[in-house]
A and B are shown apart, each in its own frame.
Chain A
């Protein structure tokens, strides 16, 4: 336990100091941290899932509070909570199914009609399963849990698993933790390979002689473009430099190293050039449930320009960037201001910027926000590792990854304390 405590504290201080750059790295490290938290949590015999959820939540709340703007942390915490719930559910279901199966096998010899106790057990199993699997058309039609159908489906589903589990009840606690850790490992794997999965779709979207514009730098975009390049598509890329961080220079360098025809432009030239661009492909910081995008600063301008010229605005986002929250006033509340030194030379303007020396407020304020909010109506398409989606579909996609109980992590934290 002390081991994880120090790990958590380390990570929190890193988050607070904004030492970790990029949502992918943050997501991965969060997942790894939570994995070790889970593995070190001592679970009681009963209600293990609740215990796991509680410990993950406790750590997760602190992580989110450390950097509320980095939505990937919250996303991963919620994903892991969801994983725990699902694993728990599937274990319970499997157990139920196992019971049911044994009961059926026992009763089979006596009489087929007399399956009243079996039916109740089967009904419970069916009810629990129905959350995982859509009800079959037959059950919907007949409006009663079909006694024959349920055992069959369950046996086809987690039959062997369930049998082994029900056979060895003492291993169930370890089994849950083990399953959760397995699933978290899968999640980490997913996060680290999301670029490849997104890049695989590149050829479907980039054709020959395309002109593509992007702003700033995103690894996803880089991989996406390079994947298309590797498939022998030749196209041109306009890279807007993305002041004040000038990550576009980095992206341009990477692209020319890989042999892509690249033109570096200033951010101010985006409007001038966009009329000759076929597609805008950008990365995102986070994707909200309404389909809005929290993106590097400047992208709202690009999106508006793209809309004006009817240029498709495509956002690439790994699934760890999908945030189940709906934004409220995201330009301000989900933003952070960086140092003015990136815009103005302190030496030259120190006299006007100084709060201490002057009388009252200084004459000069410098605003250097980090993110922009792009409303869903400006986005043409999201490409995630689960395929391409409309902005209006994002809420549904998010439903696959998160359970509704976990959406509000922080409010519970405040009410609990």
Chain B
């Protein structure tokens, strides 16, 4: 799968991003892999004919064709070296982008040869090698294979493959037949593609009712969808059924509407289910009645007392929930990792109850965990993506696996997600962002973003001379902690509050911001105040770089900060710790309290106009390319 990913992805990445060829001289090896990681991280989706049929407009046909077939041909365990020729043919369609093309074949060699070096020299390869290991560690070699094949063949195979148990052998066959196909010429491939398309169109007309069976591809028992990939001879017929299900799946992929907390009936239902007391906030802001009220740490004793009543709850999940509730764990990545690790623990301790299947029971169990965590604190987008990933992995576990094997596979999947989507992604972002820091720069950052902090420290380690302006705001005052850490590392810092942003912006040359999530209309959803910083930077014509791992991208769209947000503790607004002179709101009469509402928003949405570039693990992209990344790589979240 990995090889396939490599070959198919390169042109895609060039469509959506751009890279800086001038990497620092200290890293001669990474110069190549600088642009490499994104390529290797890219998904196999181009291999699916579905994307072809769904978006004939967006992707130019010749390139697509070649991608398509290229991806297809190299899809099977052909080592990267073998693909070099393939690359060349594909590349010939895009002579203008030949620079990157030239880079790719050697990279694939590196990836195969020295995969232990992953972290240092070729980040992107780490994952390849890693996944390779995973695959080999699995008893059924076809495991990964089936995963990749799935999205396009879910339904069709259901109908056509009555013999899933023999998948092992068939897969072998399939893998043998694929390289054969790789040797077909371009013209042949194009002809084949055309015929397939025609067949598909035919099938679409005639086959409409057939799609009904495939309406729930995620929940289907795996033996049905987990059939062997059909060899190229049947490929045309296979795709007949494929089209509709993907269409369906796409519709299904639209995020479900969020819980609206001004909907009395639903809130009532949720309350009955909930573990925590829903706080009756005395005076909620009218505009934000649709958001869940903030739950503060005062519920902690209550929750602790309920610990033994919650039989289903795994202690590690419980612990993470409490940490969310008290705010001990905060920050998108930290929360996501904590959650995934807790799930990992829970999966390790899990045993399938009798007369139940692991897939279904574990999914519902995870669902229970998630709703508990949501009660403690609303999920971030990144966590939502991680949960989706995990659930899809569970759903796609082949039933042939024994329980221990399945658990091991899931645990390693989670590890892989954390490692690749967060840890390594951050490292790639560091490399990209560091190229944008020059000597003498004054960098401004807001709040405390762990990626930005890493970037600053990394650039400092590289010996770049720059100054940091840390802008902070109440009530979190996260910037102070960041300031403390930066100063301890010897960076020269200036600290100020958000209000003074116009004063300090004159001297600033770059603004680095973190993000909680990036929506597909380019809106950056981040710590409240980020929008103001970006706006002022825009007004002063200072470039704004948003650093965000791609797993935080989300296909939702949002225009303002009101429709979706998270409420913080309202009392934190009225109290200013450490300032005895500010106590105007301490002793209010009831009548005064009635008129006073305190609003503590946690996030805001920065319009994409203010963003110069988004630094992500796929490279540096403009905000307009976010939907492309989301669209093209969404499947990868599920397939990884």
CB 8 Å contact bits of A49-72 with B (1 = contact, 0 = none) = 000000000000000000000000
CB 8 Å contact bits of B307-334 with A (1 = contact, 0 = none) = 0000000000000000000000000000
Is A270 part of the contact surface with B, judged by Cβ < 8 Å? yes
Task: Pick the residue among A253, A269, A301 that contacts B499 (CB under 8 A).
Answer: A301
CB 8 Å contact bits of B597-640 with A (1 = contact, 0 = none) = 11111001101000000000000000000000000000000000
Is B180 part of the contact surface with A, judged by Cβ < 8 Å? no
Shortest CB–CB separation between residue B563 and chain A, in angstroms? 11
Task: Pick the residue among A264, A271, A298, A369 that contacts B597 (CB under 8 A).
Answer: A264
Chain B residue numbers with a CB within 8 Å of A242 are 499
Name which residue of chain B comes closest to A238, CB basis.
Answer: B599
Chain B residue numbers with a CB within 8 Å of A20 are none
User: Which of A6-14, A161-169, A254-262, A391-399 is the interface stretch?
Assistant: A254-262
Is A132 part of the contact surface with B, judged by Cβ < 8 Å? no
Indicate if the CB atoms of B474 and A304 lie closer than 8 Å: no
Is B163 part of the contact surface with A, judged by Cβ < 8 Å? no
The CA of A246 and the CA of B595, in the complex, are separated in Å by 19
Chain B residue numbers with a CB within 8 Å of A269 are 528-529, 599-601, 604
User: Which of B221-229, B429-437, B580-588 is the interface stretch?
Assistant: B580-588
The CA of A273 and the CA of B562, in the complex, are separated in Å by 8
Shortest CB–CB separation between residue A100 and chain B, in angstroms? 58
Is B500 part of the contact surface with A, judged by Cβ < 8 Å? yes
User: Which of B61-69, B70-78, B359-367, B487-495 is the interface stretch?
Assistant: B487-495
The CA of A205 and the CA of B535, in the complex, are separated in Å by 28
Is B102 part of the contact surface with A, judged by Cβ < 8 Å? no
Task: Pick the residue among B503, B573, B576, B607 that contacts A369 (CB under 8 A).
Answer: B503
Is A178 part of the contact surface with B, judged by Cβ < 8 Å? no
User: Which of A74-82, A315-323, A360-368 is the interface stretch?
Assistant: A360-368
Is A352 part of the contact surface with B, judged by Cβ < 8 Å? yes
Is A372 part of the contact surface with B, judged by Cβ < 8 Å? yes
Indicate if the CB atoms of A272 and B560 lie closer than 8 Å: yes
Q: How many residues of A contact B (CB 8 A)?
A: 55
Is B278 part of the contact surface with A, judged by Cβ < 8 Å? no
Is A266 part of the contact surface with B, judged by Cβ < 8 Å? yes
Indicate if the CB atoms of A264 and B500 lie closer than 8 Å: no
Is B79 part of the contact surface with A, judged by Cβ < 8 Å? no
In the complex, which residues 440-478 of chain B have their Cβ closer than 8 Å to any Cβ of chain A?
472-475
Shortest CB–CB separation between residue A393 and chain B, in angstroms? 24
Name which residue of chain B comes closest to A367, CB basis.
Answer: B496
Shortest CB–CB separation between residue B617 and chain A, in angstroms? 28
Is A150 part of the contact surface with B, judged by Cβ < 8 Å? no
Name which residue of chain A comes closest to B583, CB basis.
Answer: A249
Indicate if the CB atoms of A246 and B531 lie closer than 8 Å: no
Is A311 part of the contact surface with B, judged by Cβ < 8 Å? no
In the complex, which residues 177-207 of chain B have their Cβ closer than 8 Å to any Cβ of chain A?
none
Chain B residue numbers with a CB within 8 Å of A349 are 483-484, 487
Is A243 part of the contact surface with B, judged by Cβ < 8 Å? yes
Shortest CB–CB separation between residue A94 and chain B, in angstroms? 51
Is A250 part of the contact surface with B, judged by Cβ < 8 Å? yes
Indicate if the CB atoms of A268 and B528 lie closer than 8 Å: yes
Task: Pick the residue among B492, B536, B565, B605 that contacts A304 (CB under 8 A).
Answer: B536
Indicate if the CB atoms of B502 and A367 lie closer than 8 Å: no
The CA of A365 and the CA of B528, in the complex, are separated in Å by 24
The CA of A348 and the CA of B560, in the complex, are separated in Å by 37
Shortest CB–CB separation between residue B566 and chain A, in angstroms? 12
Is A335 part of the contact surface with B, judged by Cβ < 8 Å? yes
Most buried by B among A263, A266, A372: A266
The CA of A246 and the CA of B484, in the complex, are separated in Å by 24
Shortest CB–CB separation between residue A333 and chain B, in angstroms? 12
Shortest CB–CB separation between residue A349 and chain B, in angstroms? 8
Task: Pick the residue among A301, A343, A369 that contacts B495 (CB under 8 A).
Answer: A343
Indicate if the CB atoms of B475 and A256 lie closer than 8 Å: no
Is A267 part of the contact surface with B, judged by Cβ < 8 Å? yes
Indicate if the CB atoms of B497 and A368 lie closer than 8 Å: yes
Chain A residue numbers with a CB within 8 Å of B588 are 253, 256
In the complex, which residues 558-576 of chain B have their Cβ closer than 8 Å to any Cβ of chain A?
560-562, 565, 573-574, 576
Is B498 part of the contact surface with A, judged by Cβ < 8 Å? yes
Indicate if the CB atoms of A262 and B582 lie closer than 8 Å: no
Indicate if the CB atoms of B601 and A272 lie closer than 8 Å: yes
Is A300 part of the contact surface with B, judged by Cβ < 8 Å? yes
Task: Pick the residue among A246, A331, A345, A364 that contacts B576 (CB under 8 A).
Answer: A246
Chain B residue numbers with a CB within 8 Å of A308 are 535, 607
Indicate if the CB atoms of A271 and B561 lie closer than 8 Å: yes
Name which residue of chain B comes closest to A296, CB basis.
Answer: B499
Is B539 part of the contact surface with A, judged by Cβ < 8 Å? yes
Is A376 part of the contact surface with B, judged by Cβ < 8 Å? no
Task: Pick the residue among B497, B532, B561 that contacts A343 (CB under 8 A).
Answer: B497
A-B complex: 4 closest residue pairs judged by Cβ atoms: A268-B529, A298-B499, A272-B561, A300-B502
Q: Which residues of A are at the interface with B, using a C-beta cutoff of 8 A? A: 238, 241-244, 246, 249-250, 252-253, 255-257, 259-273, 275-276, 297-298, 300-301, 304-305, 308, 331, 335, 342-345, 348-349, 352, 363-369, 372-373
Beyond known contacts A256-B595, A298-B499: 14 more, CB 8 A cutoff: A252-B585, A253-B588, A262-B595, A264-B598, A265-B601, A266-B475, A266-B600, A266-B601, A267-B529, A268-B604, A269-B600, A301-B535, A304-B535, A366-B494
24 contacts between A and B (CB under 8 A): A249-B584, A253-B592, A261-B595, A262-B597, A264-B574, A264-B599, A267-B497, A268-B528, A269-B529, A269-B599, A271-B529, A271-B532, A273-B599, A297-B499, A297-B500, A331-B506, A343-B472, A343-B496, A344-B495, A349-B484, A363-B492, A364-B487, A365-B494, A368-B496
